[in-house]
Structures are given as C-alpha cells and as structure tokens.
Amino acid sequence: MSVVLYGSQSTASLVVHWLLLELGIEHELHQLDFDRREQKSADYLALNPAGRVPTLVLDGQVLTESAAIAMHLADLHPAAGLAPLPGSPARGDYYRWICFCVYTLMPAYRAWFYPDEPAGEANVAEVKQRARLQLEAAWQQMADHLQAHGPYVLGERASVVDFLLTMLMRWSRNMPRPTDQWPVLAAHAARMKARPAFAEVYRREGITDWR
C-alpha cells in the first residue's frame, strides 16, 4: 500500500501522523512550510483545493479532513481496536464524540487561530472572545463526561476519539485557560502522551512543547 501524508509541523495533520505511527503504517511524509504558504501552492491546491492540511494519499485516493482520515485508518486496521464495531452501541458513542470534536471544538479553534475569517480584521477581538468561551464550555462538557464515563472517551478502551481529542487539547496550551487546568483532562492527556507513538511523532515533527 502506498501512503503519502501532506502535513505541517504541529497542525491538524498531527493526529494522522500519530495514528500512522501508532498503527505501524509505513508512509512518506511531506511537511509543508506554512511560512512560505506552500499549502496554497498550485501543486498542493490541485490535490486539496481547501489549501489546508492534512491530505493523505492512499494508493492514489486523495483523502482530506483529519477526523475522516483518522476513522478510515482505524477501520483499515481493525486488529488495533481503535474503532468500535459498526452498528454497536459503542459505535454510536464514537460517532457522537468524533462529531463533537468536528462540529464544536474545531470550528471554535479555527475562529481562535484565524480570527479575521468570520467577520474581518475589525472584529478579531470579539471573535476570539466568543471562540474562547465556546472552547471552555466544550472542555467543561468533555471533562464532565470523562469524570462520569472515563478514563477514555468511550470508557475503558482508547479509540480514535482520544487521539483526536489529545491533539485538540494540545492546541489550547497557549490559550488563557489551557485544558491542563481541568484535572480530568490533564489525566486523560497524560495517559495518551505515555503511548510510545506520541513520543515518536514529536520526535519526527521536531516538537518539544506540552510534554
């Protein structure tokens, strides 16, 4: 199988890169330089018209959207047990929390990190404030869930949701209220960071923060 990941250091491609390592999938990595706007080059836009990372090319099939790619990788490697069986009650929870990451956390982060996008430069401060409040409310909801149903999002077993969630928690590290301020979220992150593939993805991306 030919697997090529287009990513950029410390971005949404991290969860895909991490899962490729976790699942032992051999791959080629192309790190795009955002400072040089390589994600907007004509060659890359031909692959991914959104001009964002990640993009995974799997035997010639172009896949985008980090959560979709992550779920697909888990389905391709069922023995790793990172996705509950389709049709099982746990699969329902899995979709629920993947969608929580995608519909609630990710748009708020997009607004926080690209605050001019929703309403222009003039409204950046207000957009950031709203994004911050949305994120903190969502983290509270996740903390309450983990407190009641943890240690992992689906209970006793780690799944793709926990990988995605860990990446999203990491993004809060320089925000006014980082997720490590919720003890149950910090404990969840510590469990996920202890996985050998986490250290490996950090090593390969050259990241040192939030360890």
Ligand X SMILES: N[C@@H](CCC(=O)N[C@@H](CS)C(=O)NCC(=O)O)C(=O)O
Residues forming contacts to ligand X in the complex (CB under 6 A) are: 11-12, 39, 51-54, 65-67, 106, 110
Closest CA to 128 of 117, 143, 142, 141: 117
What are 152's strand-pairing partners? 155
Q: Which is nearer to ligand X, 31 or 66 (CB)?
A: 66
Q: Which is nearer to ligand X, 10 or 181 (CB)?
A: 10
Q: Which is nearer to ligand X, 91 or 110 (CB)?
A: 110
- Token pair 């699942």 is found at 23
Q: Which residue is nearest to ligand X (CB)?
A: 52
Q: In angstroms, what is the minimal distance from the CB of 87 to ligand X? A: 26
Q: In angstroms, what is the minimal distance from the CB of 94 to ligand X? A: 17
How far, CA to CA in Å, does 98 sit from each of 67, 76, 101, 165, 173? Answer: 7, 17, 5, 9, 21
Q: Which is nearer to ligand X, 132 or 191 (CB)?
A: 132
Q: Which is nearer to ligand X, 81 or 107 (CB)?
A: 107
- Token pair 């950029």 is found at 8
Burial 1-17 (b: 16+ CB within 10 A, else e): eeebbbbbbbbbbbbbb
Q: In angstroms, what is the minimal distance from the CB of 39 to ligand X? A: 5
Q: Which is nearer to ligand X, 70 or 150 (CB)?
A: 70
How far, CA to CA in Å, does 45 sit from each of 127, 142, 206? Answer: 28, 35, 26
DSSP string, 156-209: SS--HHHHHHHHHHHTTTTSSS-GGGSHHHHHHHHHHHTSHHHHHHHHHHT--S
Q: In angstroms, what is the minimal distance from the CB of 187 to ligand X? A: 25
Q: In angstroms, what is the minimal distance from the CB of 173 to ligand X? A: 14
Tokens read off for 188: 């969840």
Q: In angstroms, what is the minimal distance from the CB of 207 to ligand X? A: 13
